[in-house]
Amino acid sequence: MARDGFCLDLEPPTGEAAVVGRDALDALIAVLRADGYEVIGPVRRDGVIALAPVTTLGDLPTGWGDEQQPGHYRLVGRDDDALFGYAVGPHSWKAELFPPRADLYEVRRSGSGGFEVQASPPDDRPRAFLGVRACEVAALAVQDRVFLEGATRDPVYARRRAQAVVIAVDCGDPSSSCFCASMGTGPRVTGGFDLALTELATGDALVVRVGSDRGAALLARIPHRTPTRDELDASREVSRSAEQLLRRRLDTTGLRELLVAEVEHAEWDAVAERCLACGNCTSVCPTCFCSSVEEVTDLAGERAVRRRSWASCFSQQFSYLNGGTARAGIGARYRQWLSHKLSTWFDQYGTSGCVGCGRCITWCPVGIDLTREVVALRTRPSSATAVGMSLAEEL
């Protein structure tokens, strides 16, 4: 079957590439929905590019980009009709796999005066993630290590992850907050996807790479054709150009050892003068996984639910131990967050906890930039009694 030069070929093998038009991308959304998937993708809502259910191609933020700086985010109109012409927004895919709130089990009074315990009904809707950037694919891999590869597998995460279809997109328009190249996570997607899209500069076609048998089966059901050499070259050029646009860097050389050695550095107190301990950075981070558990009862006392919710190491109560708070000061809490993210995460999971997405920089109300804080740790006197001046004040 052919249409506008595109055809339904035999199922392409994993690793192969194809070209699809915008109509085919719309058809892909329809195919996934027909198979029972809830398609989650980027939409323009409340002044940001958010993640929400997508039913047609028209739901995508066509022709919109973003402007990001430390403590600053703004949507801007583009002079073209790009579908994915923006960097990451405040929402990460973490929320779809490790939801902000999840009921684990409930306890009810029984007729005999006792109690009955039963697991809360799972949310087993299969989900398809459309528009996952390279840094976010890397974040999913980090979360897999946390929730699936330890001594205990998280059942909520495991169910959602097993059913998730990942349709990635190569980044062509990084923000000023991004530093994925420093972390080796982007801007081009290299694995961990079912299908990967590259939106060409011409805007009328997308190169699709197949990353799994499931992705190959999906591609076989929508119109596509074999790419030309020029189209493959143009696809790679999108990623090369994006990497050249990256201005923010993080020198990771000896970083783990640096953070272990500088627990008394004056910069921790200097950054505490600015930090609000609001937890925005942990909320928008695609890899932070801390949570707390509470019991919620109804007014009649007949039913109680054990509920897991996201938590933040910036909360004073988070480090509470019998007799007091272990990290009472904001400087100690920021040190805990940064040191875990960039140093001790290696000890636990063999990888960095940062993928260079830059969300924590953009969505920090006071514009604290972890890349600049690392520079300060490397270049300033390390004595805790030294007169601290924040990097922002120097700039």
Domain boundaries, the chain: 2-99+121-245, 255-288+313-394
388 pLDDT more than 50: no
Least confident of 1-5, 221-225, 326-330: 1-5
Distance of alpha carbon 3 from alpha carbon 27, whole angstroms: 13
Question: Quick one: which of 358, 357, 362, 370 has its CA closest to 186?
Answer: 357
pLDDT of residue 171: 94
> Rounded mean pLDDT of 87-97?
95
Mean pLDDT across the chain, nearest whole number? 89
Please, which pLDDT band fits residue 383 given cuts at 50, 70 and 90?
A: low
Position 114 pLDDT exceeds 70: yes
The rounded percent of the chain whose pLDDT value lies above 90 is: 72
Q: Which two tokens stand for residue 74?
A: 């703004």
189-198, 276-285, 296-305, range with the lowest pLDDT: 296-305
Residue 385 above 90 pLDDT? no
**pLDDT of 328 strictly over 90:** no
More confident residue, 25 or 384: 25
Mean pLDDT on 86-100? 94
Query: In the structure, what pLDDT confidence band is assigned to residue 210 with cuts at 50, 70 and 90?
Result: very high
pLDDT, average across residues 192-216: 92
Select the more confidently predicted residue: 204 or 278: 278
pLDDT of res. 321: 78
pLDDT at position 49 is: 96
Q: What is the pLDDT of residues 342-373, one digit of tens each?
A: 999 998 898 999 999 999 999 999 999 999 99
pLDDT average, residue stretch 209-234: 95
Please check the confidence at residue 213 and state whether its pLDDT lies above 50: yes
Return the SS3 of 335: helix
Mean pLDDT of 162-176: 95
Contacts 24+ apart (CB under 8 A), 7-13: 7/223, 7/224, 7/225, 8/220, 8/221, 8/222, 8/223, 8/224, 9/220, 9/224, 9/225, 9/226, 10/220, 11/216, 11/217, 11/219, 11/220, 12/210, 12/216, 12/219, 12/220, 12/224, 13/210, 13/216
Distance CA 342, CA 250 (A): 11
Greater model confidence, 276 or 318: 276
Amino acid at 344: T
Q: Please, which pLDDT band fits residue 240 given cuts at 50, 70 and 90?
A: very high
Lowest mean pLDDT segment, chosen from 255-264, 315-324, 328-337: 315-324
Contact (CB, 8 A) for 279 and 312: yes
Q: How confident is the model at residue 5 (pLDDT cuts 50, 70, 90)?
A: very low
Which of the four pLDDT bands, split at 50, 70 and 90, describes residue 15?
low
Q: What is the pLDDT of residue 118?
A: 85
